[in-house]
Amino acid sequence: DVGKAFRELQMLHKMWKEDIGPVAKEFREEVWEKFSAATKIIHDKRQEFLKDEEKYYEGNLDLKNTIIDKIKEIPSNTGDNHKAWQNAIKEVQKLRDQYFEAGKVPRTKTKDIWKSFKESTHDFNKAKNRFYKDQKKEQFINLEKKRELIEFAEENKDNEDFEVVTPLMKKIQSDWKAIGHVPRKESDKVWKQFKNACNHYFDRVHVERNEANKEEMVHFEKKKDFMDSLSNLKFSGKHTEDLKVIKDKISEWKDIGRVPFNKRNIERKFNKVLDELFGKLKLDKHEVEMIRFENKLNSLVSQEDERKLQNEEFFISKRITDAHDEIRQLENNLGFFRHTEEDNPLVKEVQKNIAEQKEQLDVWKSKLVKIRSLRKQ
């Protein structure tokens, strides 16, 4: 223990000077030289020790500076939520413990390093307190938003207009999830109010839907019987009368009503039967296309899915654009044959394609007019 040895040496020097009397003159120099030599050895060892100790303290200083830098970085790297700040608090506490366990630093640096440490923890606490203060404000804003949703849910929980209200009730449930936290003491209370109002409404929806499903199954059975009856359908051979028969059958089919979602394959089967019936009549291609299209629209309308009608309109618009492009390209191609005889097979083929494209374009345009008219109703 160099420190202990040095303290004992100081005591020995004091005893040498004050307590022990003089020695004979002839031994004085020899004894002093021996004492001085021993003292020098201890001093040299102490200096070596202090030099190593200073290096050790410098290492502690570097470690403490690293810890301080980490504490300073935490506020800017912490997410904007309670969980992130709780983790940050734990991390800072861990770093504080490491700081105090790091040991001594050079004496000349003690005040500066302590000041830096206090500033870093102070800045962290300021950022933490600011976050929770803002959180508290935001939570009260969230509380008001959720109370507005509760008010809407309670006002509409007995509403009979299921078609309009159900999407709105689903939307406010989604909005509720997106709003965020409210003050803890209000959290359970507002959630119970909201949940009870929503449950009350959707319980009524389920009862209504069960009744509707029973009715739709009746429709399905009727449509099955109706399909069977079509196999015995006879035509008179008169174009107008036979076409009217088919249109009447389509109207009857539509009037039966919707079928359960998992039974809607029967609509495809009905369309297939219609194709067979149309095949027995010598109808204009345009007319057949439009009758089939009207039947398809009726099927889409019965599903009460506006998105499907919208997609169908988009599809038709795109086909019209494609048809225009195709006709333009064919007409450009025809320009390459301007010095060629019109009875040339290639010329005839291009002209035929143009005529077919224009005919189909007229059909697409008629379909677009029809679906837009339907969607405006």
Question: 283-298 pLDDT, tens per residue?
Answer: 677 777 887 788 778 7
Report pLDDT digits (tens) over 189-215.
999 999 999 999 999 888 877 776 788
Q: Model pTM?
A: 0.40
Tell me which residue of 192, 197, 260, 190 sits closest to 223, measured CA to CA: 260
| CA atoms lying within 13 Å on the CB side of residue 257 | 12
Q: Where are the domains of the chain?
A: 2-105, 135-213, 237-302, 305-377
Structure token digits, residue 156:
């509409």
Report pLDDT digits (tens) over 142-182.
999 999 999 999 999 988 888 888 999 999 999 999 998 88
Rounded Cα distance, 311 and 292, in Å: 18
Tell me which residue of 241, 140, 152 sits closest to 194, measured CA to CA: 152
- What percentage of residues in the chain have a pLDDT greater than 70? 91
The confidence score (pLDDT) of residue 50 equals: 59
What residue spans of the chain are helical by DSSP H? 2-14, 25-77, 82-101, 110-156, 162-179, 184-230, 239-256, 265-280, 285-302, 306-335, 345-376
Between the alpha carbon of residue 323 and those of residues 160, 329, 361, the distances in Å are 47, 10, 6
Q: Give the model's confidence band at 135: pLDDT under 50 very low, under 70 low, under 90 confident, else very high.
A: confident
Q: What average pLDDT does the chain have?
A: 83
The residues near 357 (Cβ < 8 Å, ≥ 6 apart) are: 323, 326, 327, 330
The confidence score (pLDDT) of residue 187 equals: 92
Structure token digits, residue 16:
């040498």
The confidence score (pLDDT) of residue 190 equals: 94
Rounded Cα distance, 281 and 295, in Å: 17
Answer yes or no: is pLDDT of 372 > 70.
yes
Structure token digits, residue 32:
């002093």
* Residue indicated by tokens 């509403």: 159
Class of residue 67 by CB neighbours under 10 A (exposed 0-12, middle 13-18, buried 19+): buried
User: Which position has the higher pLDDT, 318 or 278?
Assistant: 318
Whether the CB-CB separation of 371 and 309 falls below 8 Å is answered with yes
The confidence score (pLDDT) of residue 49 equals: 65
